[in-house]
Amino acid sequence: LHGTKVEKKLHQQMFLLLKYLKYLCLIHYRMKIKKFILVSTCFIMLACSEINMYDTVVLGGEVYDPTKGTFQKINFGVIDGKIAVKSNEPITGKDTIDATGQFVYPGLIDAHCHFVGYAAGLMTVNLVGCLSFDEMVERTLAFSKANPDVDFIIGRGWNQNLWPDTSFPENDTLNILFPANPVFLTRIDGHAALVNDAALKLVGILPEFIEGGKILRKNNKPTGILIDKAMDLIEIPTPPTHLLIQSLLEAEKQCFAFGLTSLADAGLDYASIMLLDSLYKANLLRIPINAMISDHPDNYFPFFKSGPLKTERLQVRGIKVYGDGALGSRGAYLLAPYSDDAHNRGLLLTDKAYLLDLGKKAFAAGFQVNVHAIGDAANRMVLETFAEILPVGNDNRWRVEHAQVVNPDDMHYFSSHKIIPSVQPTHATSDMPWAETRLGAERIWHAYNFKGLLGKAGTIALGTDFPVEDIDPRKTFFSAVVGWGNDGKPFEKYDESKLLSRQDALRGMTIWAAHAQFEENEKGSLDIGKWGDYFITSTNLLTCKPQEILQLQVQKTFVHGQLVFTKP
C-alpha cells in the first residue's frame, strides 16, 4: 500500500487515535480511577467508530476469489475507490451495502470488444431481423423520434428475403415520412442500400452508369436502391461529437448493467483515444478502458514516441493488427483450402515482413502486439513471427486475438513464448452451425479449443467482440462452460472437452483478462489495495443450472468504489 491513497488514509487514522489519547492523558489527572475507565472507554469507542469509517462497506456477502475459485463470506470496506479492508468482524462505513445471501464478484473485464464502434452503432437504426418492409419503416420512424438531433438517419441490417414480398423495396414511403432528412438504410450484406430522395438530392445529378455499381430505376426514376459502388455516391457524414459522447455514455450504462467494469477496445485510432482521454478528464466517462491502437503509423507513432499511457481509467500500451479475415466470409487464412471451396485458402491481410518490422518497433517502444488471427495459417504466421521477436520465457504478454483454428504443431508457442490466447466463446457457438462445413471434419477438432489453449498458455483472456456479438457477458460464460447455442439449447455435436471449467471461465473474465493487459495488480479480484470494481447478484455461477447462467440479474455494480448501476 506504500504511497497509495489508502496508506495516506491509514496515517490520518493513526493521528486521529493519537489525538484522542492526548485528550485522555490531559484529563486523567483530575479523575478518580472508576470515572477514568468510563471516560476512556467512551473515548476509545468514539475513536474506533471514526477510524473504521470506510466510504462503502459491503456486508455479509459471499465474495468470490477468482484465483482460488471459491467464495468466502466476508465483509469488505472501500476507501478512495480501493479495497481497504476485508474482515470477519463488523465494519462501518458512510454507505452500507447489505449483501447477505448474495454473491459478490469482481467486476467483469471484456478482454476484446469494440466499445467506441458499439457506441457509434447506437446512433444507427438496427434493422436486423425485420420481418417486413413495414417493420423496417416503423423501426426507422421510432429511431428518428427518439433521436431528434440526428439529421442524417443511418440504418443497417434489412433483408428482404425475410419479407412476404422478396423483391427490392422502393423509397416512396420514406419520401413521405422523411421529406427533408436524408435516410440511408444498408442491406444486411452491405452490398445494397435503400435511400430516400432527400439523400439522393445530395448527389446532384445521378450518373446513368457506375462502374462496379447500379442505381435501380423504375419508369426512369430512381427507386432508391443503390447497389455496391453506387452506395459510395452518397457521402455519409461523421456524427457530431456531442452525439457520439451521448452514445458512449449510453453504451457504458449497458456495460454496467451486465457487471462489466473494465473493457479492452480492440482497435482505436488516435482521435478516438484522445476523445476517451478528454471524457475521463472531464469526469464524464467512468468505465476504464484499455485501448489497443489501430495499426496505422498516424495512430501508433505518437504513442511509440511518448511510451505507454496510463491513467486511473485509460491505458494505451498495445497495438492491434489484423492478420487475416473471418471464417464466415471465407476470409480466414488456412493452411489447406476451405472444405466448401476447394480453390480458396482465404486471405492474409498482414504479411510476415510487415509484422516483423512493426513488432520490432513495438517491442523497442515497450508495447504489446495483439494480432487478429483466425485461420490456422494466419495463426502459424503470427506465432512464428512473435517467436522471432520475443525471447523465450518473456513477460511481454503479446496476444493472439481469436486464435480460432490453431494447428496442433503450433500450440507450443503459447507456452514457450508466453503468448496469451484472447478468445471469444460466443464466436464458437455462433459459428457452430456452419463451421464444420468450412473446415471439414478433421480441422474442426483444432478449432475453438479453449481448454487446449489454456493448457499451453496457462492463461486465457475472454471477451465478447461486441458489437460483432451481443454485449452480454453471461453469453460468454455460457458458451465457454456449456457450449450450447445462442438459443440456449445444446448442439447435436460439440466437443465438450474443449470447454472451460466454470472457475477458469471466471478467471478468463476477471483476473486473467486483467493480466492480459498488465493490470492484475489493480483489478480482476477483490484483494486489498485493488480497485473496488465489483457486482452483486443472487446467482452462484459455480453451481447454478446452465439455463440460470443466462438469467443472472446484476443487482448493483460498482466501479472504483462508486455505485454505477442499481437494478430498477
CB atoms within 10 A of CB 298: 10
Nearer to Zn ion, 266 or 378 (CB): 266
Which of 65, 465, 519, 533 touches Zn ion by CB under 5 A? Answer: 465
For the bound state, the minimum distance from the C-beta of residue 320 to Zn ion, rounded and expressed in Å, comes to 8
Give Cα separations from 199 to 111, 123, 181, 400 (angstroms): 39, 17, 7, 42
For the bound state, the minimum distance from the C-beta of residue 372 to Zn ion, rounded and expressed in Å, comes to 7
Please count the residues of this chain forming the interface with Zn ion, following the rule CB under 5 A. 2
Nearer to Zn ion, 199 or 287 (CB): 287
Q: Point out which residues pair with 156 in neighbouring strands.
A: 126, 186
Query: Can residue 295 be called a binding residue for Zn ion (CB under 5 A)?
Result: no
What is the C-alpha to C-alpha distance for residues 157 and 147, in angstroms, rounded to an integer? 19
Element spanning 435, H or E: helix 425-443
Query: Can residue 423 be called a binding residue for Zn ion (CB under 5 A)?
Result: no
Closest-CA residue to 116 (of 293, 371, 321, 352): 293
8 A C-beta contact, residue 377 and residue 331: no
Number of residues that this document lists for the chain: 568
Which string of DSSP letters, residue by residue, matches 439-488?
A: HHHHHGGGBS-HHHHHHHHS--EE---TTSS-S-HHHHHHHHHT---TTS
- Only segment of 160-168, 261-269, 342-350, 374-382 that touches Zn ion (CB under 5 A): 261-269
- Only segment of 101-109, 228-236, 240-248, 262-270 that touches Zn ion (CB under 5 A): 262-270
Q: Point out which residues pair with 455 in neighbouring strands.
A: none
Query: Can residue 461 be called a binding residue for Zn ion (CB under 5 A)?
Result: no
- Only segment of 4-12, 225-233, 260-268, 539-547 that touches Zn ion (CB under 5 A): 260-268
User: Residue 314 carries which side chain, given as an amino acid letter?
Assistant: L
- Only segment of 24-32, 61-69, 259-267, 389-397 that touches Zn ion (CB under 5 A): 259-267
For the bound state, the minimum distance from the C-beta of residue 417 to Zn ion, rounded and expressed in Å, comes to 23
Nearer to Zn ion, 55 or 295 (CB): 295
**Could you tell me if residue 382 is left (phi over 0), alpha (psi between -120 and 50 degrees) or otherwise beta?**
alpha
For the bound state, the minimum distance from the C-beta of residue 321 to Zn ion, rounded and expressed in Å, comes to 12
- Only segment of 51-59, 83-91, 93-101, 264-272 that touches Zn ion (CB under 5 A): 264-272
Query: Can residue 265 be called a binding residue for Zn ion (CB under 5 A)?
Result: no
Nearer to Zn ion, 110 or 465 (CB): 465
Nearer to Zn ion, 116 or 266 (CB): 266
- Pairing mode, if any, of strands 192-195 and 183-187? antiparallel
Nearer to Zn ion, 169 or 267 (CB): 267
Residue 6 CB-half CA count within 13 A: 18
For the bound state, the minimum distance from the C-beta of residue 241 to Zn ion, rounded and expressed in Å, comes to 24
- Only segment of 68-76, 87-95, 194-202, 258-266 that touches Zn ion (CB under 5 A): 258-266
Query: Can residue 324 be called a binding residue for Zn ion (CB under 5 A)?
Result: no
Cα angle: 363, vertex 369, 374; to 5 degrees: 145
Nearer to Zn ion, 266 or 383 (CB): 266
Residue 64 CB-half CA count within 13 A: 29
Query: Can residue 266 be called a binding residue for Zn ion (CB under 5 A)?
Result: yes
Torsion of CA 358, 360, 362, 364, to 10 degrees: -150
For the bound state, the minimum distance from the C-beta of residue 72 to Zn ion, rounded and expressed in Å, comes to 35
Three-class SS state of 94: strand
CB atoms within 10 A of CB 435: 21
Q: Point out which residues pair with 126 in neighbouring strands.
A: 156
- Only segment of 15-23, 55-63, 184-192, 459-467 that touches Zn ion (CB under 5 A): 459-467
Residues 49-88 that bind Zn ion (CB under 5 A): none
Nearer to Zn ion, 266 or 457 (CB): 266
Query: Can residue 279 be called a binding residue for Zn ion (CB under 5 A)?
Result: no
Residues 477-506 that bind Zn ion (CB under 5 A): none
Query: Can residue 263 be called a binding residue for Zn ion (CB under 5 A)?
Result: no
What is the C-alpha to C-alpha distance for residues 239 and 122, in angstroms, rounded to an integer? 11
Nearer to Zn ion, 423 or 481 (CB): 423
Query: Can residue 554 be called a binding residue for Zn ion (CB under 5 A)?
Result: no
Element spanning 555, H or E: strand 554-559
**Alpha-helix runs per DSSP H in 103-167:** 115-121, 133-146
Nearer to Zn ion, 406 or 423 (CB): 423
Nearer to Zn ion, 266 or 439 (CB): 266
- Only segment of 155-163, 224-232, 430-438, 461-469 that touches Zn ion (CB under 5 A): 461-469
Nearer to Zn ion, 199 or 461 (CB): 461
Binding positions for Zn ion, rule: CB under 5 A:
266, 465
